[in-house]
């Protein structure tokens, strides 16, 4: 429980109404109950706020007052996230190694680490401080994991992977599986050994069931601050820049380079051996087949500048009518030709 004033101090906002109003939790507009605080991110949902049972609201600083208890802030979504953390803090880590964990020789770890049931840790693995490993995780030989990193159940971290600090890896993800490398000779596929590694820098979050392949040689690199959604595939020798957002079911083929702050929306596809410039956006289901300069915004298959693609989509919607016009013109032309032939015969 907290007062509205306490929460306003937490998010550096301005109280509208009773600062001593008690807040018991946080929820969405439709789910909130009396005593809770909710989010009004834009003026579009102001009417929903008036119908909500919530006792208070987080609103943008430039939104006209609702006549309700509020906290006004410049970034309401950020404030909402901070208040969610206030009411739902991360559980405290219980330090120690579960007796069912299997740990090979050469394991080194700092204070505050927690290793859950049925975890496997290979040879010469090194943890920093306060690393938390959930049940069923497999961590293979010569892996290094930095301070405050958390790996959830049933993830697999293959050998020689390097993971930075404050990284979060969700269940079922596989880091460092072999890249997809084959040489085809007379219809048969000869496997190319994948002897590189994966390196993940600080403050990266990787969703559930993501696959990041090890490099053929050298490294596959995910730079600091990047966030990867569920079911994403990153191919061998890819380099992902800082603070990228890669949304669910996207795929990046081998040896591609993504700059900083690139956004790949859902189901985007990036072919191999190209580069995507910093601050570029690929819209949902965009298929990029060539290099993109910085600040590009592309969509479509193949991806092209978004405005151009929208014109193409608009034109495609008129095709049925255009076909009718063409058929009518063909009939008229055929009739004119027939009449011309009859006149010629006469």
For residues 201 and 224, what is the distance between their CA atoms, to the nearest angstrom? Answer: 5
Instruction: Compute and round to an integer the Cα radius of gyration of the chain.
Output: 28
Look at residues 58, 17, 11 and name the one whose alpha carbon lies nearest to residue 36.
58
Q: What is the DSSP annotation of 222-246?
A: E-TT-EE-TT-EE-TT-EE-TT-EE
Structure tokens at 282: 């690929």
Cα–Cα distance for residue pair 135/65, rounded to 1 Å: 49
- Say whether 322 sits in a helix, a strand or coil: helix
Instruction: Indicate if 88 belongs to the active site.
Output: no
Contact 193, 217 (CB under 8 A): no
**Cβ neighbours of residue 99 under 8 Å, at least 6 residues apart?**
none
Task: Spot the catalytic one: 88, 134, 189, 236.
Answer: 236
Does residue 253 sit in helix, strand or coil? Answer: coil
Kindly state the tokens that stand for 318: 């008129």
Collect all residues with Cβ–Cβ distance below 8 Å to 109 and sequence separation of at least 6. 126, 127, 128, 131
196, 181 contact by CB (below 8 A): no
Tokens of 311: 């014109």
Burial class (CB in 10 A: 0-12, 13-18, 19+), 34: exposed
Exposure string over 282-319, b if 16+ CB within 10 A, otherwise e: bbebbbbeeebeeebbbbbeebbebeebeeeeeeeeee
- Which H or E run includes 2? strand 2-3
Which of 16, 55, 62 minimizes the C-alpha distance to 38? 55
The Cα–Cα gap between 137 and 78 comes to 32
The catalytic residues are 236
């Amino acid at each position: 429980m907290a007062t509205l004033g306490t929460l306003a101090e937490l998010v550096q906002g301005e109280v509208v109404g009773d600062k001593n109003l008690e807040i018991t939790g946080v929820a969405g507009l439709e789910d909130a109950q009396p005593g809770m605080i909710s989010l009004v991110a834009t003026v579009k949902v102001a009417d929903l706020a008036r119908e909500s049972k919530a006792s208070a609201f987080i609103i943008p600083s430039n939104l006209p007052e609702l006549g309700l208890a509020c906290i006004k802030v410049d970034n309401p979504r950020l404030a909402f996230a901070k208040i969610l953390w206030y009411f739902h803090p991360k559980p405290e880590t219980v330090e120690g190694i579960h007796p069912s964990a299997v740990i090979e020789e050469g394991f080194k770890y700092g204070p505050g680490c927690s290793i859950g049931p049925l975890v496997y840790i290979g040879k010469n693995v090194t943890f920093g401080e306060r690393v938390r490993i959930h049940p069923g995780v497999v961590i293979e030989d010569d892996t290094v994991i930095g301070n405050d990193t958390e790996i959830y159940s049933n993830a697999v971290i293959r050998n020689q992977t390097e993971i930075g600090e404050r990284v979060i890896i969700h269940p079922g993800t596989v880091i460092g599986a072999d890249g997809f490398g084959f040489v085809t000779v007379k219809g048969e596929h000869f496997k190319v050994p994948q002897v590189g590694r994966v390196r993940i820098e600080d403050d990266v979050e990787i969703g559930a069931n993501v696959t990041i392949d090890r490099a053929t040689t050298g490294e596959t690199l995910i730079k600091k601050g990047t966030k990867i959604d569920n079911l994403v595939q990153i191919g061998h020798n890819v380099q992902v820049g800082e603070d990228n957002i890669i949304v669910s079911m996207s795929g990046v083929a081998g040896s591609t380079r993504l700059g900083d702050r690139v956004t790949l929306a859902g189901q985007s596809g990036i072919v191999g051996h190209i580069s995507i410039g910093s601050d570029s956006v690929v819209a949902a289901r965009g298929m990029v087949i060539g290099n993109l300069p910085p600040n590009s915004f592309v969509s479509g298959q193949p991806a092209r500048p978004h405005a151009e693609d929208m014109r193409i989509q608009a034109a495609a919607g008129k095709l049925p009518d255009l076909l009718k016009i063409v058929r009518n013109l063909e009939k008229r032309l055929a009739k004119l030709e027939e009449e011309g032939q009859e006149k010629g015969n006469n």
